[in-house]
Amino acid sequence: MSAKDLLKKIKDEEIAYVDIRFTDPRGKLQHVTVIESEVDEDFLEEGFMFDGSSIAGWKSIENSDMKLMPDCDSAYVDPFYAEKTICVHCSIVEPDTGEAYGRDPRSTAEKAEAYLKSSGIGDVSYWGPEAEFFLFDNVRFANTINKVSYEVDAVDASWNTDAEFEMGNTGHRPGLKGGYFPVNPTDHAQDIRGEMLSTMKRIGMKVDKHHHEVASCQHELGLIFGTLTHQADELQKYKYVIHNVADAYGKTATFMPKPIYGDNGTGMHCNMSIWKDGKPLFAGDKYADLSQEALYFIGGILKHAKSLNAFTNPSTNSYKRLIPGFEAPVLRAYSARNRSGCVRIPWTENPKAKRVEARFPDPSANPYLCFSALLMAGLDGIKNKIDPGEAMDKNLYDLPAEELAGIPTVCGSLREALEELKADMDYLLAGDVFTKDQIEGYIELKMEEIEKYEHTPHPVEFGMYYSC
């Protein structure tokens, strides 16, 4: 869609406002709403000035001017605002040079796509993220000088089999780890998920399915694959729709990887493929009908998995999911169809659908940075012919301890992931896709989260140590 096309749409559909949206380093969608009369061709082509110092991890106050550059092709009508509003995703540029701002996640994604083309390895990469989420009826938490607590609850939660509700307790709910695919009335969320999916379809998103996931109150909607930057935009819309439809139902949605103890956590499996000259680069005659390039791509991801964790699993909560025993892919191994390793090759008869699935990412990730980092790791594997080793065609969770000890793992904490990123970032800097300044700023931002988490007393500690 050109600027003229977008302006025509605004006029023809009597749009009242234009919402220009961008994503901060932590992955949170931000916005500014501009009245329709102020939006013309110059506005769309020259951009909108804003204060970058107010966004955590970006500019200092003495050098705070930044410019939002709308991507007209990303436009969609917001399904939730009372006044008719069209939304446009933006990248960030320096106002004096017009160059992409080095710490802007969306610009990083655009540079990653350009780098793929310039490498000669492929023309385009396709991404199919599978982001899970939880739905609750109530959430309460406190972080004060003398109190740290949280509580989540939902009528359909497994722990409410004997709860007394005003309307009565029907008893139909999935048990612990029993949520995968039951029909209603055990699955209470059919209608809300259906509305989420139909809302996504109405705003132009390509979707295909929805279902209850393994954990109590856990769900997933299906996004059809797309190119890197576009699919990161789609994932931001995915989260936006889920949060707002849940809110309209009087519920609350979260993409925290591990909001409840003792049940499965929330992941975001990332399906990836590269095409060149209109042909799938990953289809071939090697293991699981992969090409040699695909195996090298896997080798790059496995080699850099620990530094990748800083972007694919960027919250302290991420590492409460990445533990053995909850279908969590903590082992750096790959296999066809086996879901217990970091990387899986989904079964398909169609060479065009041949892809690689990274299973360790989670939806707390900034999608622009997550996808870009995975691509750069895979391309490094292809460039340097990194051998992924032999596939592990067995249930890795059931291996004897001595054999398990010989398989490397992903990181066990966000602190470890950031240390690994400091030591292993060169592959991200290739082609100036990521910049050293960007990575250092990101690490600094994440260290603030780690220090707050590590310095705060935990209720579990009171149980273990209060009477010592």
Distance, in Å, from the CA atom of 138 to the CA atom of 459, rounded to the nearest integer, reads 20
The verdict on whether residue 448 carries a ligand-binding annotation is no
Helix (H) or strand (E) holding 356: strand 356-358
Distance, in Å, from the CA atom of 98 to the CA atom of 434, rounded to the nearest integer, reads 18
The verdict on whether residue 317 carries a ligand-binding annotation is no
Q: Which of 227, 259, 228 lies closest to 132, judged by CA?
A: 259
Is 448 catalytic? The answer is no
Torsion of CA 156, 157, 162, 163, to 10 degrees: -70
pLDDT tens string 50-85 = 988 888 888 766 677 899 999 999 999 999 999 999
Cβ-based neighbour number of residue 286 at 10 Å: 12
Mean of the pLDDT values across residues 332-361? 91
Question: With 80 as the cut, is the pLDDT of residue 180 above it?
Answer: yes
From the list 13, 51, 426, 444, the catalytic residue is 51
Distance, in Å, from the CA atom of 257 to the CA atom of 267, rounded to the nearest integer, reads 6
Is 104 catalytic? The answer is no
Predicted confidence at residue 300, as pLDDT, reads 98
- Which residues are CB-neighbours of 466 under 8 A, at least 6 positions away? none
pLDDT tens string 289-315 = 999 999 999 999 999 999 999 999 999
Distance, in Å, from the CA atom of 266 to the CA atom of 361, rounded to the nearest integer, reads 9
Domains, the chain, ordered by start? 6-101 (3.10.20.70), 124-465 (3.30.590.10)
Arithmetic mean of pLDDT over the chain: 94
pLDDT tens string 262-283 = 999 999 999 999 999 999 999 9
Is 132 catalytic? The answer is yes
From the list 213, 233, 380, 420, the catalytic residue is 213
For residue 29, what pLDDT band results from cuts at 50, 70 and 90?
Answer: very high
